[in-house]
Amino acid sequence: MSARELLDQFDLADAAYRPTKTYSGGMRRRLDLAGALIADPPILFLDEPTTGLDPRSRTDMWGVIQRLVSGGTTLLLTTQYLEEADLLADEVVVIDQGKVIAQGTADQLKAQVGGERLEVAVTDVAQLDTAGRLLAPLAVGSPSLDEQRRTMLMPISGGVSVLQEALRRLDDEGIAVSDAGLRRPTLDDVFLTLTGHAADDTQPADDNTTTAEQEVSR
């Protein structure tokens, strides 16, 4: 593939004659990827290609990666953005502390966690602990509270009926709810369940501990 074709493919044609130092972070990432494709490689390794990008640039990069895969390129991509792994990967390999701890499709990994999640956001953060204690009997595991987001997340069995009962209990206690709903487990839930910490948790420099999510797309 020619340089001109690659610039067109990565939406860089209008900036072709500008110094690269004037490029945004997203444009530089696309340029790096375009350079890697000059030789039209059948297999491409990408190491956290969207780290530090703004949401729009990250979405643009996802589109580029999906087009490459659709065109027959095999990608081995490392990322700590689990939403990214869920969207792009045909197969996911979860690595924690340098060891493979799980492998499979996103759906297969989510099935290991199982069940539904009830998420409730309260209007007043001061009532979050009370809401957690009130709804704990409805859960099939320990509720997780996030004071910054004023939310409670807990695994349940029973679907809509549990949601209705949770809202009734909160209303009876005068706890105002700003949002509530059911959702399936995410890859974040999978990682947290498997490792006991979030995928983006950092470790001390002398801990020799690394956390990564590795995905394979074909």
Mean pLDDT confidence for 135-158: 90
Per-domain residue ranges for the chain?
3-79, 115-184
> Residue 6: CB partners within 8 Å, gap ≥ 6?
12, 34, 37, 38
Cα(54)–Cα(191) distance, integer angstroms: 24
**pTM score:** 0.63
Task: Tell the CATH topology of 115-184.
Answer: Alpha-Beta Plaits (3.30.70)
Please tell me what DSSP assigns to residue 11.
Answer: T
- Whether residue 133 contacts residue 170, with contact meaning beta carbons closer than 8 Å, is answered with no
- What would be the CATH architecture of the domain defined by 3-79? 3-Layer(aba) Sandwich (3.40)
Cα(19)–Cα(131) distance, integer angstroms: 56
Per-residue pLDDT, 8? 84
Cα(76)–Cα(218) distance, integer angstroms: 9
Mean of pLDDT over the chain:
85
Q: Is the pLDDT of residue 181 over 90?
A: yes
Share of the chain above pLDDT 90, in %: 37
Per-residue pLDDT, 34? 85
Cα(201)–Cα(211) distance, integer angstroms: 8
Per-residue pLDDT, 201? 58
- 188-209 confidence digits (pLDDT tens): 888 887 877 666 654 443 443 3
Residue 178 banded pLDDT, cuts 50, 70, 90: very high
- 60-99 confidence digits (pLDDT tens): 889 888 988 998 889 999 998 989 999 999 999 998 888 9
